[in-house]
């Protein structure tokens, strides 16, 4: 038989305690004081600054969502080769046998050292296919050195002039009232038989300098050039380029020159305490000697002749390297042809 449970209805006004409830958060604490207007603005500015800093740290210079964006391309851009930073200098200071890049270029005949430094500064020189643009960079033998087409073009524009210098002109700077030979390089003095095909330009006079000396009383072939490579070939410290002269002489005592004195002209003399390099000296006729030298000290031939009892009556340079004076008239000039070279 089912048991029935009867529930009693609580009597009105019952004082039966209720179950305890969790305290409300913040209840019982003093009410928080609202900030003033200036404090609220300062706090807002501080929060905005923190927010902007977080954006910069996360996205760098990328635009924010509310900044205008560039339209998204419809197709991805084509792939580009990876860009490698070009070195500003090549360091080989501690490597035995290393040398300055400009000196190496001069040794190889690419350019003069001054010209090489100009090209390096302009970024026109590459070493092993890498641009080198810092002066003082060093290389080691075996590295491949190439130059930009701009450098080759600039070099091709430089002129070299062959002048038959007359008596009364100095080779270099004006001195003692004598004019430099370069003043003769004018359109009117250009040889009519100049077959170089080069048209005279005033730019060819800029920086035109003598590559070797020929004193005031001497005549013959004088080279004036803008090309540092040619200057190095002719007057560099290691130059082996021959210079040939015809020298008219007479003995101081009127007697024939002894064979021993002729031998001294070939080898055995010294000037200013320094031994001269071997020369080739021989008689052409009774009063004319042929000199072939590989150096060019001041008034060298005249002083050599004085040392063995000879007086120089006339001196003419007729050849430098492979280039001959030929029929070039006294006081006239011509350009060095493209098919000519001194070495």
Cβ atoms of residues 116 and 101 within 8 Å? yes
**Angstrom distance (rounded) from CA 151 to CA 70:** 42
CA 250-252-256 angle, to 5 degrees, is 60
Q: Which residues, at least 6 apart from 175, have a Cβ–Cβ distance to it below 8 Å? A: none
Active site residue 65: no
The token pair at 81 is 């080769």
C-alpha to C-alpha distance for 208 and 226, rounded to whole angstroms: 5
For residue 206, what are the CA distances in angstroms to 161, 185, 256, 317?
Answer: 12, 12, 49, 25
CA-angle at 313, arms to 177 and 185, nearest 5°: 45
DSSP-derived letter for residue 182 is: G
Tokens of 289: 């000697």
Q: Which of 231, 229, 299 is nearest to 271 (CA)?
A: 299
Question: Considering 117, 148, 176, 215, which one is annotated as catalytic?
Answer: 215
The helix/strand/coil state of 301 is: helix
Tokens of 328: 């070039």
DSSP assignment letter at 34: P
Ordered alpha helix ranges (H), the chain: 37-59, 101-107, 113-121, 149-156, 228-235, 259-266, 300-307
Distance CA(39)–CA(193), nearest Å, equals: 96
Which residues are designated catalytic? 215
């Amino acid at each position: 038989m089912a048991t029935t449970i009867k529930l009693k209805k609580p009597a009105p006004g019952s004082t039966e305690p209720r179950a305890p409830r969790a305290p409300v958060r913040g209840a019982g604490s003093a009410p928080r004081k609202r900030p003033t207007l200036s404090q609220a603005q300062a706090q807002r500015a501080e929060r905005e600054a923190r927010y902007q800093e977080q954006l910069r740290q996360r996205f760098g210079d990328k635009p924010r969502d509310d900044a205008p964006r560039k339209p998204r391309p419809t197709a991805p851009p084509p792939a580009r080769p990876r860009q490698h930073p070009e070195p500003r200098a090549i360091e080989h200071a501690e490597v035995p046998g290393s040398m300055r890049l400009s000196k190496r270029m001069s040794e190889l005949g690419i350019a003069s050292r001054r010209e090489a430094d100009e090209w390096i500064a302009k970024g026109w020189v590459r070493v092993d296919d890498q641009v080198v643009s810092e002066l003082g960079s060093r290389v080691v033998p075996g590295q491949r050195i190439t130059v930009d087409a701009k450098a080759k073009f600039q070099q091709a524009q430089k002129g070299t002039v062959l002048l038959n210098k007359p008596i009364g002109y100095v080779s270099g700077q004006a001195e003692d009232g004598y004019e430099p030979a370069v003043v003769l390089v004018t359109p009117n003095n250009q040889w009519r038989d100049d077959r170089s095909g080069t048209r005279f330009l005033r730019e060819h006079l800029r920086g035109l300098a003598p590559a070797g000396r020929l004193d005031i009383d001497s005549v013959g072939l004088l080279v004036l050039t803008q090309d540092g490579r040619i200057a190095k070939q002719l007057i560099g410290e290691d130059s082996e380029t021959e210079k040939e002269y015809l020298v008219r002489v007479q003995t101081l005592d009127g007697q024939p020159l002894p064979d021993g004195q002729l031998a001294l002209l070939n080898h055995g003399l010294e000037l200013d305490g320094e031994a001269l390099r071997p020369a080739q000296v021989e008689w052409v006729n009774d009063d004319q000697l042929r000199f072939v030298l590989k150096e060019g000290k001041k008034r060298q031939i005249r002083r050599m002749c004085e040392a063995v009892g000879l007086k120089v009556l006339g001196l003419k340079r007729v050849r430098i390297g492979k280039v001959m004076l030929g029929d070039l008239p006294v006081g006239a000039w011509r350009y060095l042809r493209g098919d000519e070279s001194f070495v």
